[in-house]
Homo-oligomer: A and B are copies of this chain.
Amino acid sequence: MKGTMTYPIFSDEYFMNEALKEAYKAFESGEIPVGAVVVDHNRIIARAHNSTQKLLDVTAHAEMIAITAAANFLGSKYLTECTIYITLEPCLMCAGALAWSQIPRVFFGTCDPKAGYSTYGIRVFHPKTVVRSGFLEPECAQVIKRFFLERRDLKN
């Protein structure tokens, strides 16, 4: 699967489309297709996709890898000037990690009604953190749906 749409560079849709490209890479590798990019002053400083199967590691979600890579790039534990674009709403683990990172903007594509942190109804982020959803929502949702449909078909 490949992203075919183009978007104005520096738009939220442009960066979410880059996260979506990561999700497609995960799809091709048989991983649950979630992608993320971390952006610092309009520059992508980290890209990652879910790699739990490849790494045999439940902590290897796209966001966790992207946080570690971005901090490594910046030489700083805290991502206080950054924005993360994630195709899927973060789970509790990833939301907790993003809160520790002090990232001020968390933008995601589609909600995760099964494991998304918002299903718990608690405040995970600092009140000043900007959390927005719905960027390229149909595409971000579609890649996950297709993944699980194909898996179901393989089992039947």
Cβ of B72 and Cβ of A58 under 8 Å apart? no
Residue of B nearest to A52 (CB): B77
List the number of copies, as a whole number.
Answer: 2
Q: Tell me what chain A mostly uses at the interface: helix, strand, loop, or mixed.
A: helix
Q: Chain B residues with Cβ under 8 A from A122's Cβ?
A: 120-122
Cβ of B56 and Cβ of A97 under 8 Å apart? no
Residues A67 and B58 in contact in the complex (CB < 8 Å), given A93-B93, A93-B100, A124-B92: yes
Q: Chain A 118-133, CB within 8 Å of chain B: the 1/0 string? A: 0011101000000000
Cβ of B97 and Cβ of A72 under 8 Å apart? no
Given contacts A57-B77, A93-B94, 9 further A-B contacts (CB under 8 A): A53-B77, A57-B67, A57-B71, A58-B77, A59-B64, A91-B100, A92-B96, A94-B96, A120-B120
